Amino acid sequence: MKTLKVDPRAKALIFDLDGTIADTMPVHFHAYNKVVAEYGINFTPELFKRYAGIPAGQTIQILNDKFGANMDHEEVGQVKELEYEKLMHQIKPVKPVVDLIKKYNGVLPMSVGTGGHHRLAWKTLEILGLDKYFDILVAMEDVTHYKPHPETFLRCAEKMNVDPQYCQVFEDGALGLQAARSAGMIPVDVTEYYTVTIGI
């Protein structure tokens, strides 16, 4: 297993949550699959990867447009999140990322920038015993524009009081990596450091 490294330019670290700190992707996939199957939608791993990092309600709206469905995006998005919460006990840590978090705890400022809900994000960190390492978490409720817009990561930088160019972002999703680049930050694709599974 390769070891993640901090860039010499970095003065602060920003971590995506799902698929980066926590191997939640199989759990999210099963939750989506169960909920949208009731509407006759075949939610494939390929679709899931394409929309990774987008809030649930927005993903449901995308699926409506793609499949000509008529799901209430807010209601079905909430049902998906409830289904996900039932399965959260299955979450496992992404070891190379967690090792880095523990190594740089108290050395560099760190924050979490996620497209998920505040409550579930903190619960994820608590399940993994990692909530004690973070004071700053920017979630979907904190921004107007979601990834690939850079707002999530720019808010993290602002809260850490570090210029964006000195922030290193650890991400697993294409949209998140795009957001990091748009923010002028140092992006790292963590999927090069562990095996991604959807759990099907």
Q: Which residues are known catalytic residues?
A: 16
Q: Tell me the C-alpha distance between 156 and 135, whole Å.
A: 11
Q: Tell me the C-alpha distance between 101 and 82, whole Å.
A: 28
- Scored b (16 or more CB within 10 A) or e, 84-108 reads beeebeebebbebbbebbeebeeeb
Which residue in the block uniquely carries the two structure tokens 């199957």?
37
Cβ–Cβ under 8 Å, residues 194 and 94: yes
